[in-house]
Amino acid sequence: MATVKESNNFILGLWDHEEVFLHAIEHIRHDGLEIFETLTPFPVHGLEDALGYRATRLHTAGFMFGATGTTLALSFMSWVMVTNYPLDIGGKPYWPLPSFIPITFELTVLFASVGMVLTYCVRNKLIPGYVPRIYDKRTTDDRFALVFDIEGKSATEIEKIKSLCSGNGAVEVKNRVFTENENLQS
């Protein structure tokens, strides 16, 4: 279904200790190898720095959603109470700003949270029913994995990847080829 032909041939390096794994990533990146994917069973601190990822902009999105909520709540309540249906409640002002604060706050939080979670799901490809490529089942259990794309790579390059992995403490290095059948599922 993807328009770009996806690679089916990978090499998988598996580690069982996150500190060894972090050092391995530094060494492997230092040698100029491109890491296709990194899989861990839990959030490892310092992983995104080791991989050279830039910071996520999710919080910026959250701020913008929150600001939308604030604006919407304040302007809607003001419009209702001042323009659309002004009510004289014991001679009190038509625009009682202090009593707008609770709802404004709640809607800010609601918009920021819902918007951020939706953004998070879209960016992370988290959709109910989506079947991801599972490189190795143990990456959600007890293994930290680096995935290297070897489509069109020469035998010496492949050998270099393998030796770098096992030289840096990988407990297992293996080929992973996705069959047509597996691809159909995803």
Partner 1 sequence: MHAYESDFREPLINGDKNYTIITDELVRPTEKTYRGWWLMLLVFGSLAGFFVFCLCWTVFYGIGVWGLNKTIDWAWDITNFVWWIGIGHAGTLISAILLLFRQRFRTGINRAAEAMTIFAVICAGMFPVFHMGRVWDAFFIFPYPNTRGPVWVNFNSPLLWDVFAISTYFTVSLLFWYSGLMPDFATIRDRAKGKYRKMAYNILSFGWMGTAKQWQRFESLSLILAGLSTPLVLSVHTIVSFDFATSVIPGWHTTIFPPYFVAGAIFSGFAMVETLMLIVRKVFHLEDYITINHIESMNKIIVLTGSIVGIAYITELFIAWYSGFLYEQFAFYNRALGKYWWAYTMMMSCNVLSPQLYWFKPFRRNLYITFILSIFVNIGMWFERFVIIVTSLADDYLPSSWSYFQPTWVDIGLFVGSIGLFMTLFLLFSRFFPVIAIAEVKAIFRISSATAKAERAKEAGKSNGGFVGHTTFGILDKDAK
Our CB check for partner 1 shows the closer of 5 and 45 to be 45
93 by DSSP, 3-state: which? coil
CB of residue 164 to partner 1, shortest distance in Å: 18
Report CA-CA distances (Å) from 66 to 103, 116, 140: 13, 9, 33
Span 93-112, contacts to partner 1 by CB under 8 A: 96, 99-100, 102-103, 105-107, 109-110, 112
Our CB check for partner 1 shows the closer of 30 and 125 to be 125
**DSSP element (H, E) containing 77:** helix 58-78
Report CA-CA distances (Å) from 37 to 34, 72, 142, 144, 160: 9, 40, 17, 11, 18
Site membership for partner 1, residue 77 (CB under 8 A): yes
CB of residue 178 to partner 1, shortest distance in Å: 14
Distance CA 71, CA 108 (A): 8
Tell me which amino acid residue 89 is: I
Taking Cα atoms as reference points, which of 171, 152, 164 lies closest to residue 10? 152
Span 143-172, contacts to partner 1 by CB under 8 A: none
Our CB check for partner 1 shows the closer of 19 and 159 to be 19
For partner 1, the binding residues (CB under 8 A) are 16, 18-19, 37-48, 51, 53, 56, 58-59, 62, 66, 76-77, 80-81, 84-85, 89, 96, 99-100, 102-103, 105-107, 109-110, 112-114, 116-117, 120-121, 123-134, 137-142
